[in-house]
Amino acid sequence: MTVLVDLHRPARCEAPLVYRRLEAPTAAVVDVPRARRHLRLDEDDDGEDLDIEAAIDAATAHVDGRTGVLNRALVSQVWLATAPRPMAAAGGLPGFVLDLVPIQAVTTVEVLQGGVYAVLPTSAWRTVAMTADRVAVVPARGAAWPAYDFDPEAWRITFRAGYGDAGEAVPSPIRSAILLLVADLFDQRDGKVQANLVDNPTVDRLLAPFRRVAV
């Protein structure tokens, strides 16, 4: 069913965006050779590489993406955000606030109409920079959002996020924190002692400037 609403007025009851990653990064924030040097392992001994890779994956997942402690995308990746309706966005305009940062580009905006998704032309919408590196997607000047179906995923926004295509593009403090987490996980890989991913003051200090605060 398609509903007709006044889209010049933002919805009073805001519904959060739901995020799903469509394309994972093609490069690692920290690669095995760099981690091996950090761990002071013999560069010619690759017998521990599988354990190192597992530690890198776990440490990166702890920091990266929507479920990471920073709520930031590290190396370039593609995400889909869905919502049932536009919400109050930049300047009170109805739209969608993307808060998985840093956002490189919004690529498509789709709306569900009559059970079929329609891609809106780029002339129908624009992006607006907000505080805390967030980006709002709002109607183009002089335009309004079209009518849409009553559905939890009536709106779909596809965007690319991350600091860059290579691990070196990620800020050094974040990369250093991941290396410390890798070392902790690697040292406790036998599981006899719980690896410390939470109470590590140095990691906390390195990540503190990048943590998101409520806005």
Strands (E), 39-181: 77-83, 87-88, 94-98, 103-113, 116-119, 125-129, 135-139, 148-149, 155-161
* Opening angle at CA 24, ends 33 and 67, nearest 5: 95
Amino acid at 212: R
Alpha carbons 110 and 158: distance in angstroms, whole number:
8
Alpha carbons 186 and 31: distance in angstroms, whole number:
14
pLDDT digits (tens, 9 = 90+) for 89-133: 888 899 999 999 999 999 999 999 999 999 999 999 999 999 999
- pTM, 2 dp: 0.87
Q: Are strands 103-113 and 155-161 parallel, antiparallel or unpaired?
A: antiparallel
Task: Quote the crossing angle between the two packed helices 49-63 and 32-39, to the nearest 10°.
Answer: 100
Domains in the chain, please, with CATH? Answer: 32-72+166-210 (1.10.3230), 81-161 (no CATH)
Where on the phi/psi map is residue 142: left (φ > 0), alpha (ψ -120 to 50), or beta? Answer: left
Residue 6 has pLDDT above 50, yes or no: no
pLDDT band of 198, cuts 50, 70, 90 = low
**């889209």: which residue's tokens?**
7
- 172-195 average pLDDT score: 84
pLDDT attached to residue 188: 83
Q: What are the helix (H) ranges across the chain? A: 32-39, 49-63, 172-187, 201-207
- Write the DSSP symbol of residue 101: B
Residue 158 has pLDDT above 70, yes or no: yes
Residue 156 or residue 188, greater confidence: 156
Residue 87 has pLDDT above 90, yes or no: yes
Q: List the beta bridge partners of residue 207.
A: none
pLDDT attached to residue 200: 84
pLDDT digits (tens, 9 = 90+) for 31-54: 999 999 999 887 767 778 999 999
Q: List the beta bridge partners of residue 94.
A: 88
pLDDT band of 11, cuts 50, 70, 90 = very low
Residue 157 has pLDDT above 90, yes or no: yes
